[in-house]
Structure 1
Amino acid sequence: MTHAGTHTPARDTGKAGIRAVAPAPGRADPPPALRRARTWRLLTPWLFLLAPLTLLITFTYAPIANMVAYSFTDWDGVSPELHYTGAENYAEIFTREDLFQVFWVSGYYLAASVIQIVAALYFATILSFSIRFRNFFKGVLFFPSLVNGVAIGFVFLYFFQDGGTLDTVLGLFGHHSDRAWLGTPASANVSLAGVSIWRYLGMNFVLFLGAIQSVPGELYEAAELDGAGRWHQFRYVILPGIKPVLTLTVILSVSGSLSAFEIPYIMTGGATGTETFVIQTVKLAFQFNKTGLASAAAVVLLLIILLVTWVQRRLVPDDRVDLV
């Protein structure tokens, strides 16, 4: 006879330490309606991703695969016949000085990207605080990003020509120069890099401004109560808070510097020592009908950009910063 509220001891099976345990009842299968709901729940994200993935594969990964395949051939871009040449195109790129030296031109754009990032960060920091005509200056800085690149190229082509706008402005200050701004490799590349700063400054400015404004306002108030000035607020509050955006901007600037094309192609066509790697690749493909060699050059450029991005991510990891 058992007492109320106690469990009946399990029946002994005759072996020490072993008790008979009744098997757990099997789980019943879910009803068909519930199974269909679970299936649709799993398939719904992929249905939404079907269209963008199809476009991405069709217009990005498939052309890249074709480009890699063409880089091992001597295809001229027109003839239906092509022959496998192995790594001859890559050997030609790295052994011919005239093909690889164009990367030195990218140094001007890399230097310009550093100036551009510093200037954009400076203006974004200043205009994130309450100052007069703040919205006006925001519009002035962002306006070049709205202008078409072809139009910018033609405008600055007249700006830098002999007796053009730049010489006229310098003449107002008493400096009369007979310099051909696009006539020598050094001055031409400096001028083109300056145009790239003017054009892309506004885009980086907007990215930095949005990142700065996303920093919680109470952090600024706490910093002011602690007696922190503008510089200390920038160093200990703003800079750590915008680190992911800053890293992204540096990656985009480096890749853009290595693949500069639009401005130098319109203004000089690659003449006077301003030919970039992309301009050279376009000429190889469409002017000299060496599509195989041009494909190899494009693959080399892609690998260099990926390598630079990987090195940068290793040197400056994108750690999550919690300021609160």
Structure 2
Amino acid sequence: MIDVLVAGGGPAGLAAAIRAAAAGLETVVVEPRAVPVDKACGEGVMPSGVAALKALGVSPAGRELRGIRYVQGDRRAEARFRGGPGLGVRRTTLHAALHHRAADLGVRFVAGRVDGVRQGEDRVTAAGLTARWMIAADGLHSPTRRALGLERAPAAPRRYGLRRHYRVAPWTDLVEVHWSPHGEAYVTPVGDGLVGVAVLSGHRRSHGEHLDAFPALARALRGREDGAVRGAGPLRRTASTQGAGRVLLVGDAAGYVDALTGEGIALAAATATAAVDCLVAGRPEAYPARWTRLTRRHRLLTRALLGLAGRPVTARMIVPAAQHLPPLFAAAVRALQ
């Protein structure tokens, strides 16, 4: 019998597979998409995420990120990371590196989709495979979360993300967050001549229409589009618990607030590692409480910033406040890194 069946071969699922295989567990990943998988993603990995990837034996090539800059018109506020850089990396590059590491450790991959789960006293069956445990890492719209009855209606606001690449030399080693009363644009260096621009908003518009809210940025990027626009959302997702029987939820499947703070990869690796560690310790029932502790700071900070960004009046105050209170802004960036 397989020790661990992983539903979903994105970063969270591959992190779980790597951790499980490194612990000597026979691990199988079920994923319908071909490698490497691309998706809407800001492509900026915070320093904690870089450290988590290194702990898994994964060091993808990319651009070092030294901090975060907030931009609103002529106003600027920036803060540098402490204790090491972040990483701007193409989602496909990151996915390929994680997949390669998992394969090197003997993880088996099965092309397919998990669309039903059956549990017994000592086993779980899905996608025609039987295992002692299952880790569900099947994303924001997790079919496993729904099948287990763990889905909760997400609270407002409903926000969506779009990402596109542009062939232009990065002009900074910072992630730039451009603010408007109706959304944000995140500019991340991901190559010597390439930046990724992700927009987050509650308004359903095209990527180009979102960029029109940032005239200077739109002028710098116009005519330099590279590749298709990718989208995701609604972003906020809630699970009633992160474990049900012999199934543990990790990454976005376990619950998600918003991409605003850029901690997705760090949280994917941290929750996947915690889930496997609980299985290895023979204490899977401890995982939901551990998930709550691991993600509490992120959830609180993200909700607080999202509350400010979600109101046009307070959204206009974010960058001026960061500009006039540099120590406070630096402390917030350190809390997120």
| TM-score range normalised by the length of the shorter chain | under 0.3
TM value normalised by structure 1: 0.23
Greater strand share, structure number: 2
Give TM-score, length-normalised by structure 2: 0.22
Structure with greater proportional helix content: 1
Q: Which has the larger radius of gyration?
A: 1
